[in-house]
Amino acid sequence: MARYDPGLIKDYADVLYSQAAFVAFAHAVAGLVLGGVLGFFASRTAEDPQTGWAVLLAAGVAGALGYWYGAAKGLRLKLEAQAALCQVHIEENTRVLAQAASRQADAPDTGHSG
């Protein structure tokens, strides 16, 4: 049976934070590339002499949209990491309280009645 390991959860949270830092950049680059390619082909079919501007505009818009989507995805990853860390802290706090209650219940009663 698997045992509880808070270190594993903390490592998982670190991985999620690393992914969150990279995902916005990766989506922005993918958007730039995809937008540039689509802008290039769109400008070639329209036989527009302003091909360079069309490519730059499409790449810029797609890159911005990619960054926006990636940043939102990164925020979701950070939120998942924070939820995992919160569960670890809840367990740590309740364990301390449970141990204190157990010690208090096990302590001999030294009070005098009557």
DSSP string, 61-76: HHHHHHHHHHHHHHHH
Each domain of the chain, given as residue ranges in start order, spans 6-100
Given a cut of 60, whether residue 114 has pLDDT beyond it is: no
Instruction: Tell me the whole-structure pTM to 2 decimals.
Output: 0.72
Query: Closest Cα partner for 7 from 77, 91, 88?
Result: 88
Highest mean predicted confidence (pLDDT) among 57-61, 68-72, 88-92 = 68-72
pLDDT of residue 112 exceeding 70, the answer is no
Contact 56, 35 (CB under 8 A): no
Per residue in 14-48, pLDDT (tens digit) is 999 999 989 999 999 999 999 988 888 877 776 65
The runs of H, that is alpha helices, within the chain are 6-45, 51-106
End-to-end Cα separation, the chain, in angstroms:
51
Amino acid at the residue 47: E
